[in-house]
Structure 1
Amino acid sequence: MALPVVAPPRSHLGKDRDANTLLGRAVVGLGLTGLILYLDEDRVVKVAKTYTLDDFPGHDSGYVEYINDANRESLRRERWIYERLGDHEGIITCFKASDYGIELAFAKQGDLERYIKSNAEPHKPIKTRWILSLTDALSYIHSCRVFVDEIALRNVLVIDGQLKLSDFGQSYLLALAADVDTICENDLTAKIEIYHLGWVIYSIAVWGVHKYYYFEHEDPQWPNLQELPPTRHLFCGTIIQKCWNGDYASMAALNEEAHALLAK
């Protein structure tokens, strides 16, 4: 895989302790709050984006430091989430983490959005394995009292033909005593997470990129079901429709039914 020869700007690495060791590393991923830098053929490191005044003309140093602190806090929260989740199939491997960076497995095949666009449609057994790996992983994540928030194709990575959930920078670390099936955290609920997963499953089923994010609207409302794509006679159509209808009480219930219907 050819890597872009892009050195991260010093302003994006800031003055953190490990910044000098990362200068000159190729950027293989770019997010809202972080950069993904190449370490070797098996590993990358995620670091917080940091800026200088030159990046925000017309703003004062307080504004710039506010942005930098928010990005560092996002990385810190993501570290805590990886520590709570531990090593689990269906989640990107985290080798080690600190407040300066999170070392992760390198997904050479990219994210699922790009993979769908550039690869031929796989046979149903592969789709089935992928869908069950996602329901397994997300059921586990919810059992650890974590809300992902952005369950989307771009945050599902492909490694050696396996799907791995990644990017927990905007996720929520819930109290361990929380009822994950009923709690509402910053307007996010388990049913909204399941709804987002329904779109990922739909994209795999029809082998096309379909995006939906509940909170992209100013006044989020549960979608009008008549405006959604038809699922009758579609592979996994029953599961997808129930995700969109809000019929599953929990991610665990979805996972249980997915295995009952697909793992035959």
Structure 2
Amino acid sequence: MPYLKTDGDVWDLECVDRGRSGIILKLNPTRVLKAPLIIHNMDASEEEKFEADYLKDDNISFLENEKATFQRLGYYEHIVEWHALRSGRIKMKYMSYGPLSRFWQYHTPSRKQLHSWICSIAAAITYAHSRNVIVDDIAARNILIDDDQSAKLCDFTDSAVLSFDVDISQESQDGASIYTDIFQFGSLVYEIITGKRFDFDLFHPSDAEEKHGEGIIPYWPDKNQLPLISHLDYGATILKCWKRGFEDMSSVNAEIQTYDRL
């Protein structure tokens, strides 16, 4: 399938992955390029072309938002390493093992490795919040596994870069906040420990509310909507993430770090 550059030319690079709004193209054995997802379909109807143009503009905006997020975050050991931010593209380190969601299909990580991943992602989110960034899309598909099988947080297309003048604990963007990040982290830990996804959407259209003057208000699950986790490693921490039992991600990170290595 041909993918287009923002100027309409076709990319002449191998596509190693694609997501909702972007594609990952391989530059060389150590570098990839992330670009907006623009699909070329010569047989599309006029209606389909109109929709494709609409999505193209959205996908370009998503990538520009991710570039702004990387600029704010800079370089951090538990976040995917980027090398250049250019018009319509981001150059990053090539992570040969790919996303965590795919890694599980071919490898069986040790309990020690699971613990290491959880610690790394907790530290990455804590760092992002310290830079006044709400991550907003924390899931196994957005965790990349490096050559040494360490875990790196990636994909900031939906992230919110807030002014340093505001208190991030009091802010939200389209319903996303540090508390929804903490909830998503809890779901990620549950998936890492059990190998099963907890697909509760805080922003499901039928549940989330849009109140006058307040924007979107996420819908938090009731106890009977949560899986049983008391018997799991990190079970108490996961439940606190889901039930808004933490004041901030720093508190989550501190609790995670106290666990003995498994």
Aligned length: 251
TM-score normalized with structure 2 length = 0.87
User: Cα gap change, 1:122/1:212 in structure 2, threshold over 3 Å: closer, same or farther?
Assistant: farther
**Deviation of 1:230 (Å):** 1.3
Q: Structure 1 vs Structure 2: percent identity of aligned residues?
A: 27
- Check the 8 A contact 2:6/2:88 in 1, yes or no: no
User: Cα gap change, 1:229/1:64 in structure 2, threshold over 3 Å: closer, same or farther?
Assistant: closer
User: Cα gap change, 1:41/1:241 in structure 2, threshold over 3 Å: closer, same or farther?
Assistant: same
Please point out which of 177, 183, 194 is paired with 1:206. 194
- Check the 8 A contact 2:144/2:153 in 1, yes or no: yes
Question: Which runs of 5 or more residues in structure 2 are unaligned?
Answer: 209-218
Structure with greater proportional helix content: 1
Alignment partner of 1:157 is 2:144: yes
**Deviation of 1:56 (Å):** 4.8
TM-score normalized with structure 1 length = 0.86
**Deviation of 1:184 (Å):** 1.8
User: Cα gap change, 1:231/1:53 in structure 2, threshold over 3 Å: closer, same or farther?
Assistant: closer
- Check the 8 A contact 1:194/1:243 in 2, yes or no: yes
Alignment partner of 1:71 is 2:59: yes
> What residue in structure 2 maps to residue 222 of structure 1?
220
> What residue in structure 2 maps to residue 9 of structure 1?
2
- Check the 8 A contact 1:37/1:44 in 2, yes or no: yes
**Deviation of 1:217 (Å):** 4.0
2-structure distance, mates of 1:60, 1:245: 42
> What residue in structure 2 maps to residue 37 of structure 1?
25
> 1:105-144: per-residue Cα shift (whole Å, max 9, x none)?
1111111112223322412x22221111111000000111
1-structure distance, mates of 2:234, 2:85: 37
**Deviation of 1:228 (Å):** 1.2
Q: Secondary structure at the match of 2:54?
A: helix
1-structure distance, mates of 2:105, 2:41: 38
Equivalent positions of 1:119-158 (< 5 A) are 119-123=107-111, 125-158=112-145
1-structure distance, mates of 2:129, 2:260: 21
> 1:62-92: per-residue Cα shift (whole Å, max 9, x none)?
6554332222111111111111101101100
> What residue in structure 2 maps to residue 258 of structure 1?
256
Root mean square deviation of aligned Cα: 2.3
User: Cα gap change, 1:120/1:52 in structure 2, threshold over 3 Å: closer, same or farther?
Assistant: closer
Alignment partner of 1:181 is 2:173: no
2-structure distance, mates of 1:158, 1:217: 32
**Deviation of 1:211 (Å):** 3.7
> 1:146-191: per-residue Cα shift (whole Å, max 9, x none)?
1111111100111121001111112111122221122121111211
Q: Secondary structure at the match of 2:24?
A: strand
- Check the 8 A contact 2:134/2:161 in 1, yes or no: yes
> What residue in structure 2 maps to residue 108 of structure 1?
96
- Check the 8 A contact 2:132/2:162 in 1, yes or no: yes
- Check the 8 A contact 1:72/1:99 in 2, yes or no: no
> What residue in structure 2 maps to residue 233 of structure 1?
231
